[in-house]
Amino acid sequence: MLYPISTDSRVVMDLSGVWKFMIDDEVKEVDVNQPLPTGEPMAVPASFNDQAVSAEIRQHSGYVWYEREFTVAKALRDERLVLRFGSATHEAWVYVNGKLVAQHKGGFTPFEAEINEFLVPGANRLTVRVSNLLDYTALPVGNYSEKTDENGKIIRKVDENFDFFNYAGLHRPVKIYSTPVNYIEDITIVPNVDLAANKAEVQVSVKTGGNFDEVRVTILDEQGITIAQASGTDVNAVIENVHLWQPLNAYLYRAKVEGLNNGEVEDVYEEQFGVRKIEVKGGKFLINGEPFYFKGFGKHEDTHVRGRGLDEVYNVHDINLMKAMGANSFRTSHYPYSEEMMRLCDREGIVVIDETPAVGLMLSFTFDVSILEKGDFEDDTWEKLRTAEAHQQVIRELIDRDKNHACVVMWSIANEAATYSKGSYEYFEPLFNLARELDPQKRPCTYVGIMMATPKTDKCTDLVDVIALNRYYGWYVQHGDLKTAEEKTREELLEWQEKYPDKPIMYTEYGADTVAGFHSALGEPFSEEYQEDYYRMNSKVFDEIPNFVGEQLWNFADFQTKFGIMRVQGNKKGIFTRAREPKMVVRYLSERWNGIPNLGYKK
């Protein structure tokens, strides 16, 4: 799916702004043929939860409504007009002038619909019904329940089966874009690099709607100079003296695709791309033939008031904070991030592990790892969950959206699933096969393993290219005892190394809740001193393990979660506060990461 951009043949209308909003009380049916009976304002894009100073809105489980008017200029009415949502969390029904034009389930990927036949001259009314409900068929997984009150009204409740707040709404831009009747529908770019010859063959495949006499593909460098040109919907272009896309040193080419009839260009689209080679070989993660070391974060799309809504100011600021620390990567924990962030990472050379929203795939959450030591612990996750269909859908939509991004070097199929339990391999094998079949660039695949998924108990490690671990020795286990935590960390990593000598190993989460400004001469847990001691301990062990290829800590910044006695104003494992103020450990990590090269470390 192509990102909407303006070109010589395309116009983009942004519908961001203040919409009308209301909660659906499910008592009186909402008539979509009439304007919404509400004057409540709600900004888009953003979560609805924190904008209104209302506990009812913030904690609402169920359905909400958005509405606004728009007008299409006369000059565009003969064009093909497409209404596009960057996301709607978690399910949406979209009406134009009272007519259903689109329905989509899945809160973190885009969807769109042609709307020409539904438009009227002058003002048009766009109405959207959004559900934030989650259950055992959805991703992420929610514990859904409902009851009926004394008046017969249904009271719905979602208890998150994951450790972040269930922000919902129209989180990403809503746009209308135009194309000619004959149009470029999709572009797939696959660079194949010959490192020894310093050149690349770039395969460009074009999907069109309507009919063209000719499709022309032009490759341009960063200065806009044409370096290759060919005609056809499947072409190969050779780039000599290629500029490689490198971590923190991005170089982006452009594929200019034109559809022509009778020698005249009818539609044109430009897709940026980077040329780089990704391999997993001999226990190393290679970018352009050199061992790459992941330095960075698990993260969240999470800011004050906006919640999970797109905030490009924070995106730019976060990337700058990362680069100042010497970080080079992050994981889109625990869902696909905005297309705007992915495009920024392409430009800035930030390496991304792209993750599906498959979080909460575990019904027996516990940190009593000892129950797994005999290797026969099971729960009923794979009997009770019905997420396979949603999981396949999001893999298809994620790869379709992000297939051309140079920044994406690996797909994460799930986060902290019950891969220790009977039935997990049978569940995950088809998903890994699907991802590998769909990805034209054949990137490595992984899932992120929870602490109970040990070398003895995990049943799915054979499926992954990289072993990605979430580990909290010294926090959730051995709490406050860093000496024992160091021993346990070393012991487990050496066991993984011995069992899978050809697979790279990395940490995708490790961290300790830290209250900004709390200090302790004794280095007590929750103090800034303990957080630094914790990271120093882990760093020491990481440097001892030959196949250990990366450290992505948890978390970049404090973030909001549901209420709980373990969560005071959310999760405090950030090395920055939610407002992006640094905690003490940032100085240590900056010194460490700036001293570790992106490429060539642990050769």
| Cis check: omega of the bond before 334, within 30 degrees of 0 | yes
User: Which tokens hold the place of 91?
Assistant: 């399910």
Is residue 416 within 8 A of residue 403, CB to CB? The reply is: no
Is residue 443 within 8 A of residue 351, CB to CB? The reply is: no
User: Which tokens hold the place of 526?
Assistant: 């929750």
Q: Is 264 helix (H, G, I), strand (E, B) or coil?
A: strand
Q: Exposed/middle/buried for 579, CB within 10 Å: 0-12, 13-18, 19+?
A: exposed
Triad 335, 336, 339: Cα angle to 5° = 155
| Cis check: omega of the bond before 45, within 30 degrees of 0 | yes
- Catalytic-labelled residue, pool 79, 492, 509, 532: 509
Sheet with 80-85, side-by-side order of all strands:
12-14, 174-179, 80-85, 111-114
Triad 186, 191, 194: Cα angle to 5° = 170
Q: Is the dihedral of CA 121, 125, 126, 129 positive or negative?
A: negative
Q: Exposed/middle/buried for 509, CB within 10 Å: 0-12, 13-18, 19+?
A: buried
Contacts of 206 (CB under 8 A, 6+ apart): 184, 186, 187, 188, 215, 217, 233, 234, 257
- Number of residues assigned to the chain: 603
> What is the DSSP annotation of 426-477?
HHHHHHHHHHHHH-TT---EEEEEPTT--TTT-S-GGG-SSEEEE--BTTTB
Does residue 509 carry a catalytic annotation?
yes
- Catalytic-labelled residue, pool 258, 290, 416, 492: 416
> What is the DSSP annotation of 37-94?
S--EEEEESS-STTTSS-HHHHT--SEEEEEEEEE--GGGTTSEEEEEES--BSEEEE
Does residue 528 carry a catalytic annotation?
no
Q: Which backbone phi and psi does 202 adopt, to 5 degrees?
A: -105, 120
Which residues are identified as catalytic? 416, 509
